[in-house]
Each structure stands twice: as C-alpha cells, then as structure tokens.
Chains A and B, each alone.
Chain A
Amino acid sequence: MNRIDQAFQRYNDRYRLIPFITAGDPDAKTSLELIRLLDEEGVTAIELGVPFSDPLADGPVIQAASDRALAAGMNLRGVLKLAQQARQLGVQTPLILFTYYNPVLHYGVERLVAAAKEAGFDGFIIPDLPLEESEALDRMATDAELHLIPLVAPTSHERIRAIVSKRKGGFIYCVSSLGTTGIRQHFSDGVESFLDEVGSSSPVPIAVGFGISQPHHVEQMSKHADAVVVGSALVRLLESLGERLQQEESRAAALDEVRQMIRNLVGKKGRVTSGR
C-alpha cells in the first residue's frame, strides 16, 4: 500500500500536518536534516519542493527559497537523490515531490515516474498541471502505485466533481483561497463551506493549504479537512535561521526551533500513537 494512504489510515490523535520545504534551501545537507526531523515529529507527509526559476503559483516567500536553492545548485536530480538518502536513513514518512511541470517534461515524464518511485517518493503535486493536461502522468503514476495529488480551488466549482471523483488514493489538495502561496491572517468566510463541499464529494481524504501559519488556523481547518499543509510559514522560519542551520555549532539549536514550530502547529492534543 502507498505510504500516503497508510498515513491517513494510521491512528493519530494529533492534527494531521503536511509540511512543505524547498529542497536545497539553504543546502541539501540541511534539507536532509529537516526531513529526518519532520519524520521524527510524525507528520502525515512531507512535500519536497523542486526549486524552479518561474514558480508562478508561489508567493514571495517560496519564490525566494527557490532562488536560494537554485543558487545552492539544487535541481530535480538532486531532489530525487535527497529522497533516496532519506529512505536509506530510515525515514518512513510519505514523501511528495512538489514540482512545476517544465522540469518534469524536460526530465521525461515516464522516466521521472520511475525515478521517483525508485527514490522512495509516494506522490506528486504539480501546481501547473490541471486535470486536462495530467492524464498521461496520472496513468503512469497510478501504474507505479504513486499518487498524483490534484488541486482544487475555490473557483473550481463544477470542476470539483470531475477532479475528485476518480481518485482511488492519496488526497485532494484544497487551495484555501485565491492567490499564490503565502501567509494570510484571515480566510474568507467561504473556505469552510468550500472544504465541506470537496470533502463530501471526495472518495479520498482532503488536505487544505495556502496561507496557513498559526496554530489556530490549523485547529480551525482541521475541522473541515483531514490534513493541513504548511509551507510559507515554515519556509520563512528556515529563511530566518539560514546560516545557523548551516553551521556546525548552531545547527542543533536552530533545528530545535523548527521542531518547536512544528509542535506548536500540530497542537498538544496528544502524542503520535502509531506503530512507529
């Protein structure tokens, strides 16, 4: 069974959290440390972002992280290697490859699906690949027992059914509001009914992302979704920890700040009681 499906079935009395980090920000070694930390904290899945020159679904925080990672030499091949290293170190958490479509196309769709499987990924999120363009990749991923996680937006309306109806695993990524990724103070009143609408028509779990940065956001959204994605807030913390994460003497303390943030976000309802 795909690790993502296992993760959603696993008994877990904490809020289900799916953190996003940009691979290679600030460097590959730190990314590996972060994956291990998130794995230890028992998050539901980890989105590992491939840095891209033109990340048009992302706001300034993740865009800047992408630039830093590119400057540090990260690329799609590097992200595959990172996942492989994480698996070799015993990381069990589902890993999701988050990437724009052009690097995929350039690598070769079929070749990437095989390489992602081999590296230990469990699914893909490709923000600029809507339903109409995703058929081939979706089929190849399914054959490899990987999930292409579809996105639905508040503007999707009657498209929701077409997007979610045939899913047999993974989850649906619900975009909380219009706009790019980034930290928001408030969510529109419609978000809860939007999530309920998706949830009621989806045969698989739903996750919500875009703008979630505070523990009370996580708590609020968790009432209407099976998992919550946190990206920009975490990436912004990593940006502020930058050099401290890279230097031997300050690394442990910096990683501890990340750990605290994750614990604050997931709440203190209890401990992970899964078999891990």
Chain B
Amino acid sequence: MSNVGLQEKADKRGRFGSFGGRFVPETLMNALLELEAGYREALADHAFQTELRRLLTEYSGRPTPLTLAENLTRSIGGAKIYLKREDLNHTGAHKINNTLGQGLLAKRMGKKKLIAETGAGQHGVASATVAALLGLECRVFMGEEDVRRQRLNVFRMELLGAEVVPVSSGTRTLKDATNEAIRHWVSHVEDTFYLIGSAVGPHPYPEMVKMFQRVIGDEARAQLLEREGRLPDEVIACVGGGSNAIGMFTAFLSDNKVRLTGVEAAGAGVDTDRHAATLTKGSPGVLHGSLSYLLQNEHGQVLPAHSISAGLDYPGVGPEHAYLKESGRVRYTTATDQEALVAVQTLCQQEGILPALESAHAIAEALKLAANRSHQDVVLVCLSGRGDKDVESIRQGLEGLHDESD
C-alpha cells in the first residue's frame, strides 16, 4: 500500500479521484460556485481564521482532551487505547467544529438564514446553537423516525430558537431530511445558507467540512506525540457520512505507518438488509449531489439504511472516503448494533464515559483490535460525541439484547 500522490484536496471539478463532483439541479449551481469562492476567501482571511479559533477555544472548549483509557487497556491486556474526547465539546459532539466554521462563513457571506438536516440531532443542535450565537435564523429538517428517536434533541433545538421541520417522505430518516433540505434550498437559494453536517454533498462541501473538522486529528496527533513521543499504530473512527473520521484521518494521511480504520454501522448484520455499511456493501452512485458509494438496488434506486444509531443511519458516505477506500489508504470495517451496545456498556462501566451510539461503533472495533496487539502498541479512537442523547435508544437496545439472551 502506498499513498504517494494521495490527493488531499478536491480538484477543480470537486473530485477526489473519480468521486465527488456537483450533481445538483441547475438552480443551485451559482450558489455552489459562490460558496466555493466565499469559502476560499475566508480560508485565506486571517481575521476569519482568528475568529474561528477564538470561538473554538472560548466557546466550544477546544482543545478537547486526549484520555488514556487506563482501565480498558488493563482489562483487555493489549494495546494502549487513547480516546480523543470530542464528546467534551460544547453541545456534545464534533459537529460544533463544522457549524462554527460554516456559521461564520454564512455570516461573512451576508446570509441571514441557515438550514440544516439532521439524523441524530447533534448537527441540528450544533446548527441551532451557532445560529443563536451569531444571530441567524435556523430551520432544521429531520425525519419523523428520528424526531421520535431523538425527542430530547428536538426539544433542545426548539429551545435554542430553531424551527424543526419533521419530514414524512421516504424512510423518514436522514436521507429524506436531506432531500427536503435540498428542496427547501432550491426554493430559497438566494437568501439561505445550507449548513451541511457531514463530509457529503456537492463540492465544495466535502472538502470544506473536512477543513473545519481536521482540527480533531491535528490536535490528537500533537497530543499523542507529546504524551507518547510517537505516532499511534492505529487510528479508528466511526463512519456515517464520515465527518469525524475525515477530521481525524486527515492529520495522519501522509504518516504511512499509521493504519487508519473507518467503522460503518452493520446494524443487524451486513448479510441482512438492515445495515448502513455503505462502503462495505454499496457501490458507486450519485446521491445528494455527489458521486460516492451508495446502498442501492439493481436499478439504481437508493436502499434504506438501518442502524441503532440515527447518526449512522444513512445510505451514502462522503466522497473522500470512497476515494480513500479505493486507494487502499483507509481500511473500512463494520460493527453491529449489538457490538455498539456492548461497547457503550463497557466504556460506561470501565471508564465512566457514556459514548454516543455512533462513537460506540469505533470503540467496538478498538476493543477487538487492541486485544490482539502488544503492550507497546497505541490505538487512538475518535470519541466523536457523548451518549446523553441516546440514553433511551440504549435502554431499549439493551433490553432487546437481554430478551434475546433469555
């Protein structure tokens, strides 16, 4: 495996290798071109960078800590497990890094209205938070099924002054919330900024979200070098759309000896039709504006995804992940609902940390992997968010597990 010439930015057409691009109605094309120009100007603007850094530090609480999971490491008896604590961000997940970035950008571009889509609600909460902070209107599209699963986050968004729009079409989850957000954007493109929550969507979103999330990996890399005097052997992150994973991986892409692993949701199992393992079981296709991997049937119709975690319950994935899969630089694997639930329990009981169900998929892989490694090895896991929002789903899931074992 070699990553010589591994492309770290989208090319002029917005492609990572053959993936990415802009597959959207013509109505949106000028908005995307404007966004790209606005984003490039902002990146080059010292004042924008300073303001973003200030908010990340003073408002969100960065840098987030790097925690050695000592008890876990001891009980497994293999590699040392470090957790990058994105759960300790304001609003409880890595999503705030990106919403602060895009929110500031929206303001800089003179937009007063934000729209967002959300699955688990973390991106919705982070968008509503940033809108409140920056004095912008905010409307969040959320599938009815997710509104049901994530009632607490719906209430949080409303408390923050956002309007939550339940979406009843299709699978009533993140995929359809995204369709509705795009439809709304097409109708209001002249005064509305679409704040996409993951490293998906048409160019420049995948690259932009990655740039706003790369702080995760940049910090973790420096923190680990300081603590251990060396790089990790393995870096693990969960992948739905893939924003925490790309944020984590980017810092290590050119460290050839660091193995990178993305963990998708296997739901009830990758051999069933109830999973969200897009890279593992999907094929190239176009959804929500970009060419990437997709869960689809033999006629190119998008298939519903399933995961116990609303944040991973998505049949697409960011185009750069598709590229990293095909280039071989990142290994993509899966964890089932059940494995994620066990990981939640394990981390709670051994470390006193309640991870989000999304992050629990990465923990599950770390538990497997660390056991087969030597004491000298270091595994770094992105703990992308905290599990408070998932308590109800976890309770129901664990009851299900116990029922099955009865």
Contacts and interface: CB of A to CB of B under 8 A. Distances in A.
Interface of A: 52-54, 56-57, 59-60, 63, 70, 75-77, 100-107, 127-133, 150-157, 159, 163, 175, 178-180
Given A130-B26, A153-B26, A53 B170 contact: yes
Contacts of B291: 105
B183 A56 contact: yes
B300 A106 contact: yes
B294 A102 contact: yes
Contacts of A54: 170, 175-176, 179, 287-288, 302
Contacts of A163: 26
Contacts of A175: 25-27
B49 interface: no
Contacts of B283: 106
Contacts of B27: 153-156, 175, 178-179
Interface stretch (B51-59, B79-87, B186-194, B264-272): B186-194
Given A56-B179, A102-B285, A130 B300 contact: no
A132 B182 CA distance: 19
A102 B302 contact: yes
Given A52-B301, A53-B301, A159 B29 contact: yes
Contact of B301 (A75, A133, A153): A75
B13 A132 contact: yes
25 contacts: A53-B302, A54-B176, A56-B182, A57-B25, A70-B301, A77-B299, A102-B287, A105-B284, A128-B23, A128-B25, A128-B289, A130-B22, A130-B23, A130-B25, A131-B26, A132-B22, A133-B23, A155-B26, A159-B30, A175-B25, A175-B27, A178-B190, A179-B183, A180-B183, A180-B186
A106 B302 contact: no
Nearest to B34: A155
Nearest to A150: B26
A270 B30 CA distance: 42
Interface of B: 13, 21-31, 169-170, 175-176, 179, 182-183, 186-190, 283-289, 291, 294, 296, 298-302
Contacts of B188: 178
B80 to A, nearest CB: 44
Contacts of B183: 56, 59, 179-180
A180 B187 contact: yes
Contacts of A156: 26-27, 29-30
B301 A130 contact: no
Contacts of A104: 300
B61 to A, nearest CB: 36
Contacts of B23: 101, 128-130, 133
Contacts of B30: 155-157, 159
Given A180-B183, A180-B187, A130 B29 contact: yes
A178 B301 contact: no
Contacts of A60: 169
Question: Mostly helix, strand, loop or mixed at chain B's interface?
Answer: mixed
Q: Which of B27, B179, B302 has the most CB of A within 10 A?
A: B27
Contacts of B29: 130-132, 155-156, 159
A179 B301 CA distance: 23
A180 B179 CA distance: 11
A52 B179 CA distance: 12
Contacts of B284: 105
A128 B23 CA distance: 5
A53 B296 CA distance: 10
Contacts of A132: 13, 21-22, 29
Contacts of A53: 170, 301-302
A178 B186 CA distance: 6
Nearest to B176: A54
A237 to B, nearest CB: 22
A76 B299 contact: yes
A105 B19 CA distance: 13
Contacts of A63: 169
A234 B229 CA distance: 69
Nearest to B29: A130
Nearest to B298: A106
B301 A101 contact: no
Given A56-B183, A163-B26, 11 more contacts: A54-B288, A77-B299, A102-B287, A103-B300, A104-B300, A105-B300, A130-B24, A132-B29, A133-B23, A150-B26, A155-B189
Contact of B186 (A105, A130, A179): A179
A75 B30 CA distance: 32
A155 B24 CA distance: 13
Given A128-B286, A133-B21, A180-B186, A151 B26 contact: yes
A106 B26 contact: no
Contacts of A70: 301
